[in-house]
């Protein structure tokens, strides 16, 4: 298990290989489809963005409401491919370095990870209660009107992740599945 911190630099990213288990600490930003769309529309309109994405990691999550006395409710990853249309611009133009989600990504996303030395992590889908325990602070920093889809700033400690697609474009899904596929399947 490798321990890493945000913000991520190229050197750290290059040491991470598809399939590695890592424990991430530091700051994460959250964002789902609606927030991505707004960020991209704002950028294209030439207006100022409400968050600085340089070196940052976005976690694709729409958490449950926090119970009284709790930082956040259940908070596992959502399906990443819904963000694929927006990701290349965020990485190439806005300096985003990492993403956390679940599921396959498009070829365009893999290409931009390679070109910009960025990385895609996986969190365990459906393990929201456990993941929420590793989130030590949460505050909404943009788009509060989006509710569960607002952009939060999260502080996490030893957030358990798996490298899904590394900066060389290697893919943990393809490699893992190929090992266990039986003849005739």
Partner 1 sequence: MKQIHVKDIAETVERLCIQACTALGDDWWQAMENAVSLEESPLGKDLLGIIRENAGLAASTGEPICQDTGLAVVFLEIGQEVSITGGSLYDAINEGVRRGYINGYLRKSVVSDPLIRENTGDNTPAIIHTEIVPGSDLRITVAPKGAGSENSSGLKMLKPADGEEGVIRFVMEVVEAAGPNACPPIVVGVGVGGNLEKSALLAKRSLLRPLGERHPKPHIAKLEEELLKRINSTGIGPQGLGGRITALDVHVEVHPTHIASLPVAVNIQCHASRHAEAVL
| Residues of this chain that bind ligand SF4 (CB under 6 A) | 76, 125-126
Closer by beta carbon to ligand SF4, 126 or else 144: 126
The option from ligand SF4, partner 1, none interacting with 52 (CB < 5 to 8 A, set by class) reads none
Which of ligand SF4, partner 1, none has residue 160 at its interface (CB below 5 to 8 Å by kind)?
partner 1
Partner whose footprint covers residue 103, from partner 1, ligand SF4, none (CB < 5 to 8 Å by kind): partner 1
Whether the link from the prior residue into 7 is cis, omega within 30° of 0, is yes
The residues binding partner 1 (CB under 8 A) are 19, 21, 61-67, 70, 73-76, 78-79, 81, 102-104, 122, 124-133, 147-148, 160, 162, 172-173, 175-182, 184-185
- Between 126 and 147, CB nearer to ligand SF4: 126
Closest CA to 105 of 93, 94, 90, 95: 90
Q: Which two tokens stand for residue 120?
A: 């895609």
173 Cβ contact partners less than 8 Å away, ≥ 6 residues apart: 104, 164
Q: Which residues of 105-130 are buried (b: 16+ CB within 10 A; e: fewer)?
A: beeebbebbeebbbbbbbbeeeebee
Nearest-angstrom CA–CA distance, 125 and 183: 28
Q: How far is the CB of 163 from ligand SF4 (least distance, A)?
A: 20
Look at residue 104 and give the partner it binds from ligand SF4, partner 1, none, a contact being a CB closer than 5 to 8 Å depending on partner kind: partner 1
Residue nearest to ligand SF4 (CB): 126
- Closest to 6 measured CA to CA, from 122, 149, 156: 156
């Amino acid at each position: 298990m490798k321990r890493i911190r945000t913000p991520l630099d190229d050197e750290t990213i290059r040491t991470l290989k598809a399939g590695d288990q890592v424990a991430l600490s530091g700051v994460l930003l959250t964002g789902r489809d609606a927030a991505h769309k707004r960020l991209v529309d704002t950028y294209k309109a030439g207006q100022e963005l409400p968050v600085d994405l340089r070196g940052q990691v976005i976690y694709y999550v729409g958490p449950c409401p926090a119970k009284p006395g709790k930082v956040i409710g259940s908070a596992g990853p959502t399906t990443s491919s819904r963000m694929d249309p927006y990701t290349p611009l965020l990485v190439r133009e806005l300096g985003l370095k990492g993403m956390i989600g679940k599921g396959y990504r498009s070829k365009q996303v893999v290409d931009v990870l390679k070109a910009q030395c960025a990385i895609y992590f996986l969190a365990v889908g459906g393990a929201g209660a456990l993941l929420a325990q590793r989130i030590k602070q949460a505050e909404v920093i943009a788009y509060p009107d989006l509710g569960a889809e607002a952009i939060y700033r999260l502080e996490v400690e030893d957030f358990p992740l798996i490298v899904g697609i590394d900066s060389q474009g290697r893919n943990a899904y393809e490699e893992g599945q190929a090992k266990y596929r039986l003849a005739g399947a």
